Amino acid sequence: MNSRRDFLQRVAAPLIAWPFLTGRAQAAERASGDVSYEGPVLRVAIMGLGGYGTMVAEAMKDCRKAKLVGLISGTPSKITDWRARYHIDAKNCYNYENFDQIRHNPDIDAVYVITPNALHHDEVIRVARAGKHVICEKPMALNAREGQEMIDACRQAGVKLLVGYRMHFEPKTLEIIRQRKAGAFGKVLFFQGLSGFRIGDPNQWRLNPALAGGGAMMDIGIYSINASRYMIGEDPIWVTAQETKTDPVKFREGVDETIQFQLGFPGGAVASCLSTYSMNDMDKIFLEGEKGFAELHPATAYGPIMGRTSLGELTQPHRTHQTVQMEEMAAILLEGKKAPVPVDGEEALKDLKIIDAIYAAVKAPGKIALSL
């Protein structure tokens, strides 16, 4: 298994019939009145034409409010292939040296940055200075300092910064949040988040600290961090953490293999979470309250998400996460719509502050206070 994206796809593999049902639903949707949509369309350039970039591009075929119109890549052959596949105009294609020139291109509204973690900071700031809105994959940056600089650059440029939190639009996830807000679980007491898989190729960028900025925590662990916050409905006020490393060759200095971490929340709830690159099928969240519970398993895979609460099974229909995300982000950028759970740079900065504290807690025993 080579990456988080492989893992997220594999988690849902046993539910093999679902893609066919989803395809039918999407075809029916396109055959309905939706195809006559005549509102504003967000014109997007994708930066980073790898596996996840491809997934986003394919998902955008079913979008009404967002359209792929531009490409940014350091590999000319990818530009050639993608131009043919997605019918992209040559004038909307750039490399990493000249993409600042998008400032002169009125046909591009936003750039979706889907590159290794360490590149996000400089690329997002360059896009902002070129006057385009930015969507950045998570984690937004390597640390909170970089994240704040990105937020500041976008604010100074008068553009918006969104982060690829696709789960913030996922129906079953949102239903649990709705039930929690309605008091179905009573006072929240406990959250558990398990995020991990057994990583493969030791030469991939995710195991290169210069590009990844860490290991499992910077790849898959952020899901448990973020989920603890939107499921409990609060931001944590302290963190403790412990690291385990069984293969110091594969997981060299600066690359975490497994970290267990605990979070404390102002309302009294506690979270116990695991981030790992050495155990498969770790994709579960659980919420316990005085009156009820909620769980998702798989919880963050590409779908379908499966879950139940103390009120019964969750049956909300699945739709491709990236399609929904891009539709919703287009509405945020073009119409001023408010996300059900925030997806802006400030939201991502909170996660980065927690990650910084987790790494610090690994090296220092005891609780580290958080101020988000």
Give the residue numbers annotated as catalytic, written as ranges. 138, 223
Question: Residues 91, 97, 101, 105: what is their CA dihedral angle, to the nearest 10 degrees?
Answer: 30
